[in-house]
Structure 1
Amino acid sequence: MGMRVRRALSLMVVVGLTGLLSGAAGGAAPTAEAAVAAAVGLLPASLQGAVAAPAAAPPVRTVVPAPAAPAVLPTTRGQMRAVRVAPVVVPGTPCRSTARACVDLSGNRAWLLDDGEVAYGPVPITSGRAGFRTPPGTFAVTFHSRDHVSSIYDAPMPYSVFFNGGIAFHQGSLSQLSHGCIHLSRTAAREFFGALDRGDLVQVVS
């Protein structure tokens, strides 16, 4: 059977080439698959099954990569600072470099920070009295009110910068404790009012 298959294959090659050349001479050359199929048809029936027709090449699949998800960019200056600056303690303060304002309750001091460095301060402060202690923590500035008046205590709070509910930096007495706010001198209150933006981080340390 092996000798017969080899002879059959030789015959297929001869017939296939003859078909290709004759087709080319006539102006319409048959494909290689058509020539081989014709050659197989000329073989005896007992040998046609022993010769496999060439398998069709699998279709080529083009893989299109999925589009990358859009990057989420920081929107506020406080968020951009948190990305840009490594969170380390700023020398001379108890606060981390991601904060824009730093309050030391036990030391009665406050600073403005910028890119992990002291930009202003320390300045003296007073904070909440007994029963109204200023809570420690990290907060974000929510809004400003240049000529704010307390609706609870009917007291003026010039240059208010709110960062924890009703708690704010504002101009106030440096000899009397507050109801939770951070009192600053007029000069310092104006500096904090002008420097802090909505979303900036305020760190209050006990």
Structure 2
Amino acid sequence: MLLPLGVALGSGTAYAASCTTSTGPYQKQVEKFLGRPVDGRQSAADCKAIRAFQAKHGITPTIGYAGPITWRTMSTMLAQRAAGNNPNKAGRCPTNKGRIACVDLTRQLSWIQDGRTLTYGPVPVRTGKNGTETRTGAKKIYWRNINHWSTLYKVWMPYSQFFDGGQAFHSTTKSMWNPPGSGGCVNMRPADAKAYWNLLKNGDDVYVYGRKPGT
């Protein structure tokens, strides 16, 4: 991967080890998101704040550069915040199914509703990356395993609820905004995955729609 000009490579050109002096293409947007002075020019304080955000969410290279992946992550967060307590305002998830788990890939959000009544969420999720996208359409939960071991990925998948082939809701310890995404499952924070486990059962409807940013 080519690094932007100004990345420290022992040349003393950066403010600190692995911190770039380069102004990124999304500098102003990133500065505004982070509550920094919006001047469109990289500073040592900007770099420190951007690097902290990148490190928290596993965005690499973690060099404080306001690039497309960092801004895409922030844009997704802004869309999630804008959803508020009415994630199905546009009516994309069916309201005639009774209890249903909705997954909006575009906003990386999921929630449970009963008709038009929101019963849980919305909560951030981490869905399939480019090449292993979470498949869209109407599904049903068909198998549940509270402490599933993935023989494919060699990892534990707590609170697994499978709804389409090997794709399932399950908890993970990774950030929900960690790029590039999952192998197709709908990753959830542990508390949210547990809540889904307690609220859903085999045969319940799942509806997946939209398109994950970057896929």
Please indicate the TM-score interval, normalised by the length of the shorter structure.
0.5 to 0.7
CA offset at residue 93 of structure 1?
A: 5.6
Moved more, 150-159 or 93-102: 93-102
Q: Is the 8 A contact 1:90 1:117 kept in 2?
A: no
1:150 aligns to 2:154 (yes or no): no
CA offset at residue 118 of structure 1?
A: 0.8
Where does 1:22-171 land on structure 2 (aligned, <5 Å)? 90-91=88-89, 94-97=92-95, 98=97, 100-171=100-171
State the one-letter code of the partner of 2:92: P
Structure 2: distance between partners of 1:96 and 1:204: 10
Q: Report the counterpart of residue 61 of structure 1 in structure 2.
A: none
Counterpart secondary structure, 1:170: strand
Counterpart secondary structure, 2:195: helix
CA offset at residue 137 of structure 1?
A: 0.3
Structure 2: distance between partners of 1:94 and 1:191: 23
Larger radius of gyration: 1
Normalized per residue, which structure has more helix? 1
Q: Is the 8 A contact 1:93 1:102 kept in 2?
A: no
1:199 aligns to 2:197 (yes or no): no
Using the aligned pairs only, state the percent identity.
Answer: 34
Q: Give the ranges of 4+ consecutive aligned residues of structure 1 lying more than 2 Å apart after TM superposition.
A: 89-94
**TM-score (norm. length: structure 2):** 0.52
1:103-154 CA distance string (max 9 Å, x none): 0001010001123311011100010011101111010100110010111111
Structure 1: distance between partners of 2:150 and 2:139: 21
Q: Is the 8 A contact 1:124 1:184 kept in 2?
A: yes
Counterpart secondary structure, 1:123: strand
Count matched residues. 118
**TM-score (norm. length: structure 1):** 0.54
State the one-letter code of the partner of 1:135: R
Structure 2: 5+ residue runs without aligned partners? 1-86, 211-215
1:148-181 CA distance string (max 9 Å, x none): 0111111110000100011000002212410000
What is the RMSD computed on CA atoms of the aligned residues?
1.7
Structure 1: distance between partners of 2:101 and 2:195: 11
